[in-house]
Amino acid sequence: MVENDEKGSRDLIKKIFKTSGKAATIGITGPAGAGKSTLINRTSIELNKLGYKTAVLAIDPTSHITGGAILGDRVRMTESTDSGTYIRSMASRGATGAVSAALRNSIRVLEFAGFDPIIIESVGAGQTEVDISKMVDLTVVVFNPNTGDSIQTIKAGLTEIGDVYLINKSDLPGANQLYDSVRDFIGMSEKNPQVMMTSAKTSKGIGDFAKKLGEMLEERKKVKKINEEARLDAELRDIVLNNVKNKVSNMLDSSGTYAKYLKKVQQKSLDPFEAADKISKLMK
């Protein structure tokens, strides 16, 4: 409903909104092939052993042509579902930032259902990852020695957002060098994130990682209210701006003035900037 039925979603959120915003949220991102799904599977089991009730929302890359998502994460996470973890794959629909509204409200529904923490898994290092990092309490960035990760690729957008940097598949050659590189390059930054090594395949380091997440989430509780207020500010702005954008778009569709200036731009008798200024002044 949250993903596909706007009216139903609004009615639902209206009923549960008052109690929302207390569950811990963890974003886990990193390049494709870093082993995130297996890592989350194992980590969820460990978190559940520590007394948590974990849920996972996996943001799947969506085909621009068919609109279908890969939705393979649930297949790789069956072990953790047996221990009580709830998993849902969400299609990103291929649009930057398009996951925001559905994701925020899905988190609220899962929280209302009693899940805590809620893990968000996503692929890549684009704008979606930056958007998600602003919606969660902790962001974990996963690398592995086999994906060609190096200082150069690490610079490509992931250095700002991580609270924990994981070198996964640490049983593979090159893991120690990558760990040293990440620690040297990112570990000394102002944010001073944790840098850890894990192997989802052998479960090495997974227990320590889960305990560290628990400790960090406890620490984050002190600033949870402030962060939640900032997130609600960002959400309200998003909704208002989207409403205004839709309103203006509808106005332009039925505006004779817009059609007149569009023709001038298409005939190259007026540049688009000047035309936009003139249209904007007339619409005030």
CATH number for the domain that contains residue 81: 3.40.50.300
CA 195 to chain centre: 20
Domain with 124 in it:
6-222
Verify that 76 and 217 share a domain, yes or no: yes
Verify that 210 and 237 share a domain, yes or no: no
| Residues 44, 38: Cα–Cα separation, whole Å | 10
CA atoms within 13 A on the CB side of 161: 28
Across the chain, how many H-helices and E-strands are there? 12, 7
Q: Tokens 């250095």, residue? A: 159
CB 185 within 8 A of CB 154: yes
pLDDT digit of tens for each residue in the chain (284 aa)?
888 888 999 999 999 999 999 999 999 988 777 788 889 989 999 999 999 999 999 887 654 444 444 445 455 555 556 667 889 888 765 444 446 788 899 999 999 999 999 999 987 656 666 778 888 999 998 888 875 555 555 555 666 788 998 888 888 888 888 888 888 777 566 677 888 989 888 888 999 999 999 999 999 989 999 999 999 999 999 899 989 999 999 999 999 999 999 999 999 999 999 999 999 988 76
Residue 227 included in any domain: no
Verify that 148 and 95 share a domain, yes or no: yes
**Residues facing residue 20 across a β-bridge:** none
Phi, psi of 232 (to 5 degrees): -70, -35
Residue 182 included in any domain: yes
| Residues 268, 33: Cα–Cα separation, whole Å | 48
Phi, psi of 167 (to 5 degrees): -95, 100
| Residues 115, 135: Cα–Cα separation, whole Å | 17
Verify that 216 and 249 share a domain, yes or no: no
